Structures are given as C-alpha cells and as structure tokens.
C-alpha cells in the first residue's frame, strides 16, 4: 500500500491516531460544538478505535496470519476495547462531572456554620458542608440582626451570590422566618 509494507502502515496509523487521540483529549473543550451537531459521533471513541485497531494490527503482523484475518481480529479487538472504554470510563466520567456541581438554588434550606461573624447591616461568611465537598459563601443576615462566629445557620435565600441566613435555633423555636 503506497509503496509501504503493511506493518509500516499499521505503525504509522498507530502513531498518527494515537497522537490525534491524545491531542483531542487535551483540546476537546474547544470542539464541544462538534459533538452537539452530530450527537451520535464521539471523536474520542473514533480515535481510540483507530488507535487500538492500528496497535493490534501492528502486533499481529508478526504472526503468520493472513492480512484479512489480521484486519478482522484487529477490528474485533478494537471494537471490544472501545466499548469497554465507553462503558467503564467515559460514561461514568460524564455523569460524575455533573453530579459534583451545585447551583445556588440547591443551597437554599441547607445548614451552615458562620466562620466570619455577620454584623446587622453587613456581610460575613458561612461554611456549608455537603456530600460533594464544602462551600464557603458570603453571608448576610435575613432579619438584619448580628450573627456571632460559630453559630449554626439556615440558608434562607441566595441573592447576588450572597447567602441570606438566619440562626438555626431561632427557626426551630419560632417555626417561622
């Protein structure tokens, strides 16, 4: 093929496709629009398939198998590896990325601890612990009252990135805001 041996073609394919896979993984955020335009097309899987195909084809050229057997076995191996890569690596990574994110609305109703006291007409800081980690947000008093350092508070609302909080004991005793 093109004056090259089959072994050399597989080796060049391995080097080129492996490099393209690596570059795509590094710069995939720049090309996210491509996957939205064609939803079933995943360049990571395509480049990985071609890399696995070239690698196994290159290795099988050292056996006594005929070229059509090498192509068939290499395609099956590449398909199996790409399916395993997709099921056990890419799909869990894509869902894990979304599950670690939080929205400001999801902070409403959560308990926190004041780490910088909140003056009556000013701002302090609240520390909110969660399953995905800890969050520190600027805090203001919902009732315009001072909240001392170390108080347990309830996040009532989020406005312009600031948590509006009330002392948790007050909420439990009054049952109202």
pTM of the model: 0.55
Can you tell me the distance from the alpha carbon of 126 to that of 149, in angstroms, rounded to the nearest whole number?
Answer: 9
Domain-terminating residue out of 73, 99, 125: 99
The confidence band for 34, taking pLDDT boundaries of 50, 70 and 90, is low
Q: What angle do CA 77, 78, 79 make, to 5 degrees?
A: 90
Residue with the bigger pLDDT between 36 and 124: it is 124
Percentage above 70 pLDDT, the chain: 84
* Same domain assignment for residues 88 and 128: no
Domain-terminating residue out of 79, 99, 119: 99
Domain-terminating residue out of 81, 99, 117: 99
Say whether pLDDT at 99 is over 60. no
Structure tokens at 49: 């398939």
What are the residues facing 138 on neighbouring strands?
A: 125
Say whether pLDDT at 97 is over 80. no
Range of the structural domain that residue 155 is part of: 105-174
Domain-embedded: residue 1 = no
- Residue-wise pLDDT tens digits, 110-149: 899 999 999 988 899 999 887 767 888 999 999 889 999 9
The confidence band for 3, taking pLDDT boundaries of 50, 70 and 90, is confident
Buried b (16+ CB within 10 A) or exposed e, 143-157: eeeebeeebebbbbb
């Amino acid at each position: 093929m093109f004056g090259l041996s089959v072994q050399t073609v597989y080796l060049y394919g391995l080097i080129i496709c492996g490099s393209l896979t690596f570059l795509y993984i590094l710069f995939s955020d720049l090309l996210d629009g491509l996957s939205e335009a064609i939803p079933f097309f995943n360049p990571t899987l395509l480049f990985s398939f071609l890399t696995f195909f070239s690698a196994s084809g290159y290795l099988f050229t050292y056996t006594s198998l005929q070229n059509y057997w090498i192509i068939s076995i290499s395609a099956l191996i590449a398909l199996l590896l790409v399916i395993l890569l997709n099921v056990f690596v890419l799909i869990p990574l894509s869902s894990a990325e979304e599950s670690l994110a939080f929205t400001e609305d999801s902070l409403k109703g959560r308990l926190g601890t004041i780490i910088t006291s909140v003056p009556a007409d000013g701002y302090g800081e609240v520390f909110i612990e969660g399953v995905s980690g800890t969050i520190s947000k600027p805090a203001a008093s919902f009732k315009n009252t001072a909240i001392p350092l170390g108080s347990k508070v309830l996040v009532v609302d989020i406005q312009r990135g600031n948590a509006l909080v009330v002392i948790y004991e007050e909420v439990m005793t009054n049952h109202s805001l």
